[in-house]
């Protein structure tokens, strides 16, 4: 009973965020996406500053637009198919993310792929530690992987619980709450790494690129 109510409340909040069109709502939606999942390299490649950093050609930009239209359609279908089951939804979306990231990487040369991956790590923070390729690079042990998954599950559970009162908050309060939850999640994930792994993960992110995630198009738009 409680779990069903919690899922229903979270679903209402998610629908409100995904359907809202204001710039503030777009920023909150991006925060919501970062909190529960990841923003893929192909999505980030929609941003002007990322396209300039990667030196994408006009042909590549056109293919990025097509990939993102298809990804948006597929993710929307996954949300509808999940029917409020967030665990199912994010598992399906994770598979889509991997598929479209592979297609995106095939469009790039080696230098572009390396920089796109660095930007991906910067944009997503510590949640990227659950990425198999990232974990392999850092030589994350099986024990650490289990701890990372548990830490992520715990943070998502706490976030879902907190959304019961989310709609009663002001826009400023929502932004602050989401930022607080993301920081708490990332702190918990980073705590699993040893000092050498933390240093390597920081170095893997490359030179800092200032990006505005609020400018990313919302799902279905």
Q: Tell me if 220 is assigned to some domain.
A: no
What tens digit of pLDDT does each residue of 102-129 get? 999 999 999 999 999 999 999 999 999 9
Distance CA 187, CA 173 (A): 21
Domain extent for 94: 2-215
Q: Tell me if 221 is assigned to some domain.
A: no
Q: Tell me if 102 is assigned to some domain.
A: yes
Give pLDDT, residue 175.
Answer: 80
Contact (Cβ atoms closer than 8 angstroms) between residue 147 and residue 192: yes
Helix, strand, coil percentages (3-state) for the chain, rounded to 5, are 80, 0, 20
Give pLDDT, residue 197.
Answer: 98
Mean of all residue pLDDT scores within the chain: 84
Among 52-56, 97-101, 213-217, which is the least confidently predicted range?
Answer: 213-217
Distance CA 112, CA 95 (A): 23
pLDDT at 216 > cutoff 60: yes
- DSSP for 163-206? GGGGGGS-HHHHHHHHHHHHHHHHHHHHTTS-HHHHHHHHHHT-
Q: Which residues contact 42 (CB under 8 A, 6 or more apart)?
A: 64, 67, 68, 71, 100, 101, 103, 104
Q: Tell me if 25 is assigned to some domain.
A: yes
DSSP 21: -
Distance CA 53, CA 115 (A): 8
How many CB atoms sit inside 10 A of residue 142's CB?
Answer: 8
Instruction: Specify the number of domains making up the chain.
Output: 1
């Amino acid at each position: 009973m409680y779990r069903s109510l919690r899922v229903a409340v979270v679903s209402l909040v998610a629908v409100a965020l995904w359907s809202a069109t204001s710039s503030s709502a777009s920023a909150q939606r991006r925060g919501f996406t970062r909190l529960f999942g990841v923003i893929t390299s192909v999505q980030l490649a929609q941003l002007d500053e990322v396209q300039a950093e990667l030196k994408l050609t006009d042909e590549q930009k056109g293919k990025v637009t097509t990939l993102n239209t298809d990804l948006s359609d597929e993710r929307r279908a996954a949300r509808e198919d999940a029917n409020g089951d967030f665990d199912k939804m994010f598992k399906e979306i994770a598979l889509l993310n991997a598929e479209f990231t592979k297609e995106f990487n095939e469009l790039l040369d080696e230098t572009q792929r390396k920089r796109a991956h660095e930007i991906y790590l910067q944009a997503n923070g510590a949640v990227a530690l659950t990425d198999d390729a990232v974990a392999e690079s850092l030589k994350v042990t099986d024990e650490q992987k289990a701890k990372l998954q548990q830490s992520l599950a715990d943070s998502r559970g706490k976030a879902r619980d907190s959304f019961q009162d989310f709609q009663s908050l002001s826009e400023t309060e929502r932004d602050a709450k989401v930022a607080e939850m993301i920081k708490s999640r990332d702190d918990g994930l980073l705590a699993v790494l040893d000092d050498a792994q933390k240093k390597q993960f920081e170095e893997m992110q490359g030179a800092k690129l200032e990006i505005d995630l609020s400018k990313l198009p919302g799902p279905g738009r």
